[in-house]
Chain A
């Protein structure tokens, strides 16, 4: 035993300030960030130097994943129901209210019209687990995508179109989507890309 026992003084810190900072940061993130939308498939977009942002509202999104499967979605829940009604009227199908509600929750979907009713009747977890096969877009046989685009624009004329393609998707898939859009005289649309800094010393001509 040492002759003089050293006085052990455990330093105690007042955590109040740290707690304040933590909750301030938390409030900031809650208020300024939006949740990631549940997409039907993972898509990694290429990046571009374009400075324009994707519009928030009135957006129609056509996604192409790396295997060339096509998914379609619009952002407004009411427009989704209106679009489904238009589609049902055009094709002579009918959807129950429950199915319409389930449809309104889908931000993105991709399957032939024939499979849609069965998909909407699946319970929640099975819907998430279901691997959607992509929408047929062959210009010759059956172009579901063109019909969905037409009915969506009928429901909301001001929809702007964004095409979100995966890095590895092959060009022919994009060409099919382009064909469906051109068939309906849509010649101006956006490609969703990631943000990339322009090379050093580059200034924009516009503005």
Chain B
């Protein structure tokens, strides 16, 4: 710790005369460094450095009742039902009221599986339906079920951004055909 040394520690001689013994003080900086690091730790823990990012979401106007474009052909659409326990029920290019729909519906988890499914579906549909529109003819419809979480919906929208799907829709209304197709999966 601090010490007081007699005899002028470290000082150089100022002259030939006898000088009174100077007491030199040397302060140990260790507690000050301790204090400095304590304050740093307080500020690191009490404040936020990374700002949260924002994902934009545009929804169509609810008042408009008019039909925007011609009705979608089911063969161009990939329907994703967001179910419980982070499962996605995917229906690729088939209408929900088709007989083969129930057999064709696949259960996918989020992440690379879903991404691969969307990319494959998009490639297939765009190849089969060449058009001059930017982004192709592929449309993805996302239908969150009552037992899905907010995280599922954000992840699904994120997948749209990652796979660069330009045309997608978030639809929360389940038609009777959808309910028949899903059956038990709609319940909690």
Contacts and interface: CB of A to CB of B under 8 A. Distances in A.
B25 to A, nearest CB: 14
**Which of B29, B40, B55, B164 neighbours the largest number of chain A CB atoms within 10 Å of its CB?**
B55
Interface of A: 14-16, 18-19, 22-23, 25-26, 29-30, 32-36, 45-46, 48-55, 64, 162-175, 178-179, 182-183, 185, 187-196, 198-199, 202, 205
Given A22-B33, A26-B40, A50-B56, A174 B164 contact: no
Given A23-B36, A48-B53, 14 more contacts: A19-B29, A22-B40, A33-B47, A34-B48, A52-B53, A164-B52, A167-B151, A168-B150, A169-B149, A170-B147, A170-B149, A171-B148, A189-B56, A193-B54
B43 A30 contact: yes
A35 B45 CA distance: 10
A193 B53 contact: yes
Nearest to A64: B150
29 contacts: A18-B33, A19-B36, A25-B40, A26-B36, A29-B40, A33-B44, A34-B47, A34-B48, A36-B46, A36-B48, A46-B151, A48-B53, A49-B158, A50-B56, A50-B158, A52-B53, A162-B54, A168-B151, A171-B82, A179-B62, A182-B59, A183-B62, A185-B61, A188-B57, A189-B57, A190-B54, A190-B56, A191-B55, A195-B52
B47 A191 contact: no
B172 A18 contact: no
Nearest to B3: A12
Contacts of B115: 199
A167 B148 CA distance: 10
Interface of B: 28-30, 32-33, 36-37, 39-40, 43-44, 46-63, 82, 115, 144-155, 157-158, 161-162, 164, 172
By DSSP majority rule, is chain B's interface helix, strand, loop, or mixed? mixed
Contacts of A32: 49
B54 A205 contact: no
Contacts of A195: 50, 52-53
B114 to A, nearest CB: 12
A178 B59 contact: yes
A16 B36 CA distance: 12
Given A29-B40, A167-B150, A170-B146, A187 B54 contact: no
A184 to B, nearest CB: 10
Contacts of A168: 149-151
Nearest to B51: A53
Contacts of A46: 150-151, 154-155
Contacts of A162: 54
Given A36-B48, A48-B55, A191 B162 contact: no
**Which of B37, B47, B154 neighbours the largest number of chain A CB atoms within 10 Å of its CB?**
B154
What 6 A-B pairs have minimum CB-CB distances, sorted nearest first? A15-B29, A22-B36, A33-B47, A190-B54, A167-B151, A165-B150
